[in-house]
Structure 1
Amino acid sequence: MPQLNPNPWFFIMLTSWLTFTLILQPKLLSFTSTNPPSSKTPTTTNTTPWTWPWT
Protein backbone atom coordinates (compact mmCIF):
# COMPACT_ATOMS: atom_id res chain seq x y z
CA MET A 1 0.00 0.00 0.00
CA PRO A 2 1.62 3.26 -1.02
CA GLN A 3 -0.20 5.29 1.65
CA LEU A 4 1.91 3.64 4.33
CA ASN A 5 5.16 4.77 2.81
CA PRO A 6 6.18 7.78 4.94
CA ASN A 7 9.22 8.57 2.88
CA PRO A 8 8.16 11.75 1.00
CA TRP A 9 5.25 12.81 3.20
CA PHE A 10 7.05 12.82 6.51
CA PHE A 11 9.71 15.15 5.17
CA ILE A 12 7.07 17.48 3.70
CA MET A 13 5.14 17.56 6.97
CA LEU A 14 8.28 18.14 9.01
CA THR A 15 9.43 20.94 6.71
CA SER A 16 6.06 22.66 6.76
CA TRP A 17 5.84 22.52 10.57
CA LEU A 18 9.37 23.83 10.97
CA THR A 19 8.62 26.63 8.53
CA PHE A 20 5.51 27.54 10.45
CA THR A 21 7.07 27.43 13.91
CA LEU A 22 10.36 29.11 13.07
CA ILE A 23 9.37 31.68 10.46
CA LEU A 24 5.66 32.35 10.28
CA GLN A 25 4.62 32.08 13.90
CA PRO A 26 7.02 34.75 15.29
CA LYS A 27 5.94 37.11 12.52
CA LEU A 28 2.28 36.58 13.30
CA LEU A 29 2.76 36.92 17.03
CA SER A 30 4.61 40.20 16.68
CA PHE A 31 1.46 42.02 15.57
CA THR A 32 -0.26 43.99 18.27
CA SER A 33 -3.82 43.22 19.03
CA THR A 34 -6.35 45.77 17.81
CA ASN A 35 -8.52 45.24 20.86
CA PRO A 36 -6.29 44.55 23.88
CA PRO A 37 -7.97 43.35 27.06
CA SER A 38 -8.73 46.16 29.42
CA SER A 39 -7.83 46.25 33.08
CA LYS A 40 -11.23 47.57 34.12
CA THR A 41 -13.41 45.45 36.32
CA PRO A 42 -16.49 44.16 34.54
CA THR A 43 -19.71 45.84 35.53
CA THR A 44 -22.80 43.81 36.14
CA THR A 45 -26.04 45.12 34.75
CA ASN A 46 -29.19 44.82 36.75
CA THR A 47 -31.92 43.43 34.55
CA THR A 48 -35.60 43.23 35.33
CA PRO A 49 -37.65 40.25 34.25
CA TRP A 50 -40.08 40.64 31.44
CA THR A 51 -43.71 40.86 32.48
CA TRP A 52 -45.84 38.89 30.10
CA PRO A 53 -49.34 40.26 29.55
CA TRP A 54 -51.04 36.85 29.54
CA THR A 55 -49.75 35.61 32.90
Structure 2
Amino acid sequence: MPQLNPSPWFSIMLLTWFTFSLLIQPKLLSFTTTNTPLNMSTPTKPTPWTWPWT
Protein backbone atom coordinates (compact mmCIF):
# COMPACT_ATOMS: atom_id res chain seq x y z
CA MET A 1 0.00 0.00 0.00
CA PRO A 2 1.77 3.18 -1.11
CA GLN A 3 -0.26 5.38 1.25
CA LEU A 4 1.71 4.02 4.19
CA ASN A 5 5.05 5.14 2.83
CA PRO A 6 5.81 8.30 4.86
CA SER A 7 8.83 9.40 2.89
CA PRO A 8 7.24 12.17 0.75
CA TRP A 9 4.33 13.08 3.03
CA PHE A 10 6.24 13.42 6.27
CA SER A 11 8.59 16.03 4.84
CA ILE A 12 5.66 17.96 3.35
CA MET A 13 3.89 17.91 6.70
CA LEU A 14 7.01 19.12 8.52
CA LEU A 15 7.60 21.88 6.02
CA THR A 16 3.98 22.98 6.33
CA TRP A 17 4.08 23.07 10.14
CA PHE A 18 7.38 24.92 10.23
CA THR A 19 6.03 27.47 7.78
CA PHE A 20 2.93 27.93 9.88
CA SER A 21 4.84 28.11 13.16
CA LEU A 22 7.60 30.44 12.06
CA LEU A 23 5.94 32.72 9.50
CA ILE A 24 2.19 32.75 9.70
CA GLN A 25 1.53 32.33 13.41
CA PRO A 26 3.55 35.37 14.63
CA LYS A 27 1.80 37.56 12.09
CA LEU A 28 -1.60 36.38 13.29
CA LEU A 29 -0.69 36.80 16.95
CA SER A 30 0.55 40.34 16.42
CA PHE A 31 -2.98 41.62 15.86
CA THR A 32 -4.48 43.28 18.86
CA THR A 33 -7.99 42.64 19.98
CA THR A 34 -10.48 45.37 19.16
CA ASN A 35 -12.16 45.34 22.56
CA THR A 36 -9.88 45.17 25.54
CA PRO A 37 -11.36 43.14 28.38
CA LEU A 38 -12.53 45.16 31.34
CA ASN A 39 -12.13 44.25 34.97
CA MET A 40 -15.42 43.03 36.28
CA SER A 41 -16.54 44.50 39.55
CA THR A 42 -18.16 42.35 42.19
CA PRO A 43 -21.77 41.71 41.32
CA THR A 44 -24.34 43.54 43.36
CA LYS A 45 -27.03 41.61 45.12
CA PRO A 46 -30.33 42.01 43.29
CA THR A 47 -33.27 43.48 45.12
CA PRO A 48 -36.12 41.05 45.71
CA TRP A 49 -39.14 41.31 43.51
CA THR A 50 -42.19 42.76 45.20
CA TRP A 51 -45.31 40.94 44.14
CA PRO A 52 -48.46 43.02 44.16
CA TRP A 53 -50.65 40.27 45.61
CA THR A 54 -48.55 39.49 48.67
TM-score normalised by length of structure 2: 0.71
- The equivalent residue for 1:7 is 7
Q: For residue 18 of structure 2, what is the amino acid of its counterpart?
A: L
Q: 1:42 to 1:32 in 2, by over 3 A?
A: farther
Q: How many residues align?
A: 49
Q: Does 1:39 align with 2:39?
A: yes
Q: 1:44 to 1:14 in 2, by over 3 A?
A: farther
Q: For residue 30 of structure 2, what is the amino acid of its counterpart?
A: S
> Where do 5+ consecutive residues of structure 2 fail to align?
50-54
SS at match of 2:40: coil
TM-score normalised by length of structure 1: 0.70
Q: 1:7 to 1:45 in 2, by over 3 A?
A: farther
SS at match of 2:27: helix
Q: Take 2:13 and 2:34, find their aligned partners in 1: how far apart are those partners?
A: 32
Q: For residue 33 of structure 2, what is the amino acid of its counterpart?
A: S
